Amino acid sequence: MSRSVLILVTHLLGVGHLARAAALTRGLVSAGHRVTLVSGGRPAPLIRVEGAAFVQLPPVHCVGVDFRTLLSCDGREIGEDVRQARIETILAALASADPDVVVTETYPFGRRQLAYEFRALVEAARNRPRPVAILASIRDILNPPAKPGRAEETEAVLARFYDGVLVHGDAVVTPLSASWPTSPGLERMLTYTGYIADMAARVEPIPSGEILVSGGGSAASLPLYRAAIEAAALADTSARWRLLVGHGVAAADFEALMASAGPRVTIERARPDFPALLAGAAASVSQAGYNTMIDLARAGVPAVVVPFEQGKEAEQRLRAERFHALGLAGIVGEADLSGRTLAAAVKAALARPPGETPILALDGIAGSVRAVEDAAQRAEDLGQAWTRLDQALAACREIRLWWRDDDAISATPALDRLLELSHRHGLPLSLAVIPAAVSASLIEAVAGEPGVDILVHGYAHANHAPAGTKKQELGHRPAAKVLAELGQGLSTLRSSFGARCLPVLVPPWNRIDPALIGGLAALGFRGLSVAGPRPAARLHDLTAINIHVDPIAWKQGGGLLDPLLVLSQFIHALEHDEPLGILTHHLVHDAWIWSFLDRLFDTLKNHANIRFLPAHALFA
């Protein structure tokens, strides 16, 4: 099935980001998909996007490593007019493309200075009338978060808007966790596509026996070019040196390089046949950018890399070290770069015996195309599931809902977020508190929360089940001992919370020995809440009100259960003639669970036939 894909990329120094996005564009077009590539960096004459719609935003760029200052083509800092024009062009491209899939290159892991326009795109895409899959596209290695909390901010954006992350690398060579902190929730979003390499383009080597020096598309490579000119004069080899200078290097700097070049050095602008020149070279000298390292891996020539490390940039250094460990390149640190050190490194590279070329996953274009296709289908399936939920809710005459959250002990940031979610949606909350562990901070935190009822969550939430069986606190011990603890637990919470503590038992892990239920009323309990459809409205003089929908993937180690399964749970629960309960556990929620609950509650509020009821009304 042909899909429409919109890709947004902005390169600020070199053209590597744009080159990778263009390669993905060509792969999608070859697979029969319609692609709109929106580029926000300066025009790059060597980039090919045949068969795709190309949209050029008012271009911006940076100088050096000052990524916070965005400059227009005239070298001036951009103003609000440029920012607004870029957003308007992006949104117009979105409307024209009507995409099934939106891909943002680097964001939200980077490009924070352009977050406003990326955010405008993903918000508009998420609000379109039909489902749109939103994917982040990142290289194998990222610069680690510069400040505390940046990783959490990134995950919050991913959880709210994104369906997946395409990592254009090989997890065996460099997992994302080597450069970026990954939580279990983020790990579940990752698809390692393999490295982006245009394997369809046949490379015929241009034999030269030269030392080929390349530095990407930006002026950041000038120190490398100058050192290479010095190294050529010092090298004890007859090989000529050829410097390919990127179009981002100013004309004056290019002329200065030409003037300083010795008789064994050829200097010219970057050429589209770079892969062929590289394949026929005696050795390569370059920085350690993504595209260059892939070209080196394909060509198999002796190589020396000088990773770009200005301004605390760590990405190229880490990649260089990974590829060095594979035997693909020698390294000269940027701080050690000189004509002498570079000449010595090239001599060592030429003397190194040829080894067996390591097997790298270079099928990243095909892997990315598959991932984009899968994401489009998944978004369609998920959109249909939300529609089915809406239809099922609309078909019911009246729906009574309630919300129970378990394992409360003390005031925490997670509890604050739970209460904020309750406030934002105007929903009553039933908080199941562990009596033996309740703290004064929890008592204080809910003191001013009239929409919160307190339930008795067992006694100590301690497992007494034999090894190899399901966890259970209320059982596997003498009934008298268990009942005495429960009586003490009810008394503790009544003393702590007064009348807001309802005499309702919530067994830990939703399990209780049936033999204990008959003794609960004598302790003062009036209600019982476990999981699943209830057998009857009353059990041994107790009102039974259960929960039916749990969004956590407990059997898979936590995190958000597949939303398709959660929505299916909800639809099936509507078949039972009883109040429908939603269960949460605020202490173990990640960004994806919070985001799902936000959307679920928004959906439920759209139906006039739904009543969210507090526990004190249900168990009255």
* pLDDT average, residue stretch 459-478: 96
- CA distances 23 to 105, 226, 467, Å, are 13, 31, 54
Identity of residue 128: R
What pLDDT is attached to residue 357?
64
What pLDDT is attached to residue 471?
96
Q: At what angle do helices 290-299 and 16-30 cross, to 10 degrees?
A: 60
Residue 333: pLDDT over 80: yes
CB 58 within 8 A of CB 73: no
Residue 241: pLDDT over 90: yes
Q: Where are the alpha helices (DSSP H) in 178-305?
A: 184-189, 222-234, 251-260, 274-279, 290-299
CB 593 within 8 A of CB 583: no
290-299, 333-342, 410-419, 428-437: range with lowest mean pLDDT: 290-299
d(CA 113, CA 490): 54
* pLDDT average, residue stretch 149-168: 96
- Average pLDDT of the residues of the chain: 93
What pLDDT is attached to residue 429?
98
Which DSSP category does 577 fall into? S
When pLDDT is cut at 50, 70 and 90, the band that residue 95 belongs to is very high
Residue 182's Cβ-side half-sphere holds a number of Cα atoms within 13 Å equal to: 16
When pLDDT is cut at 50, 70 and 90, the band that residue 289 belongs to is confident
pLDDT tens digits along 309-329: 887 778 899 999 988 888 888
When pLDDT is cut at 50, 70 and 90, the band that residue 581 belongs to is very high
pLDDT tens digits along 473-496: 999 999 999 999 999 999 999 999
Q: In the CATH scheme, what is the homologous superfamily, with its name and number, of domain 397-618?
A: Glycoside hydrolase/deacetylase (3.20.20.370)
pLDDT tens digits along 387-405: 999 999 999 999 999 999 9
The percent of residues in the chain predicted with pLDDT above 70, rounded, is: 99
Residue 67: pLDDT over 80: no
In this prediction the pTM is: 0.89
DSSP lists the bridge partners of residue 286 as 214, 305
Burial state string for 445-472 with b = 16 or more CB within 10 A and e = fewer than 16: bbeeeeebbbbbbbbebeeeeeeeeeeb
What pLDDT is attached to residue 200?
65
DSSP element (H, E) containing 492: helix 479-497
**Which CATH code, of 1.20.58.390, 3.40.50.2000, 3.20.20.220, 3.90.180.10, is assigned to 211-351?**
3.40.50.2000
What pLDDT is attached to residue 325?
87
* pLDDT average, residue stretch 439-450: 96
Pairing between β-strand 610-612 and β-strand 542-544 as defined by DSSP bridges = unpaired
Where, residue-wise, is CATH 3.40.50.2000 in the chain? 4-199+365-377, 211-351
* pLDDT average, residue stretch 133-151: 92
Pairing between β-strand 330-331 and β-strand 133-139 as defined by DSSP bridges = unpaired
Residue 65: pLDDT over 90: no
* pLDDT average, residue stretch 1-11: 96
pLDDT tens digits along 190-211: 999 999 987 766 778 888 889 9
What pLDDT is attached to residue 217?
72
* pLDDT average, residue stretch 294-312: 86
Residue 359: pLDDT over 80: no
* pLDDT average, residue stretch 538-560: 96
Topology of the domain comprising 4-199+365-377 = Rossmann fold (3.40.50)
DSSP element (H, E) containing 314: none
What pLDDT is attached to residue 398?
93
What would the two tokens of residue 498 be? 């007064």
Rg of the chain taking only CA atoms, in angstroms: 31
DSSP lists the bridge partners of residue 38 as 8, 55
Residue 13: pLDDT over 90: no
Closest C-alpha to 17, from 223, 261, 315, 274: 315
